[in-house]
Amino acid sequence: MSDPTIQIRSLSELHLDDIVRIVEKTRHSYQPDLWEDRVTYYLRRDPESSVVAEVDGRVVGFMLGDVRAGEFGIEEPSGWIEVIGVDPGFAGRGVGRALADAMLARYRERGVRQVRTMVDAGMPEVERFFKQVGFEPDSLRPFVRRLD
């Protein structure tokens, strides 16, 4: 099967149902209210950063993120990739790479010099993906304290 022609578009509120559909397939969880809140958050915070991938007019992937400074003591504006989702039927066909390339290009055009993300150690496939698109471990380390 040949690789599909992937079109990258800016995220809009019209993509919400597609994002919910993809998340339901990948995380086996139907949470339209949660994703409406997330999409709205990113559209208000930084409407030029988040993107969707379309094949034949159908959304098959998305990437949410923004540019911000002052996080974790980092004063220089950094691009952040917060969430990636790819329809399992299109996994391994270049959708994730096209999304990452588009976001990185958008960040570069805005003068961003570093892009960050965080990956759960229990998601080795996501870590592998980010390494494949040029990310490497950073000096930031997550800490957590449970309040049980």
pLDDT above 90 (res 144): no
* Secondary structure (3-state) at 33: helix
* Residues forming a β-bridge with 86: 61
* Mean per-residue pLDDT over the chain, rounded: 92
| Secondary structure element (H or E) that encloses residue 16, with its range | helix 16-27
143 occurs within a structural domain: no
Q: pLDDT value at position 2?
A: 60
145 occurs within a structural domain: no
pLDDT in tens, 13-57: 999 999 999 999 999 989 999 999 999 999 999 999 999 999 999
Q: What is the pTM of this model?
A: 0.90
Beta sheet of 58-68, edge-to-edge order = 7-10, 51-55, 58-68, 78-86, 115-116
Arithmetic mean of pLDDT, 132-144:
88
The number of folded domains in the chain is 1
51 occurs within a structural domain: yes
Read off the CATH number of the domain in which 51 is found: 3.40.630.30
122 occurs within a structural domain: yes
42 occurs within a structural domain: yes
141 occurs within a structural domain: no
Query: Residue 31 belongs to what domain range?
Result: 7-132
25 occurs within a structural domain: yes
The owner of tokens 């993509």 is 15
Tell me the CA distances in angstroms from 71 to 31, 74, 75, 94, 115, one per residue in order: 28, 6, 7, 31, 13
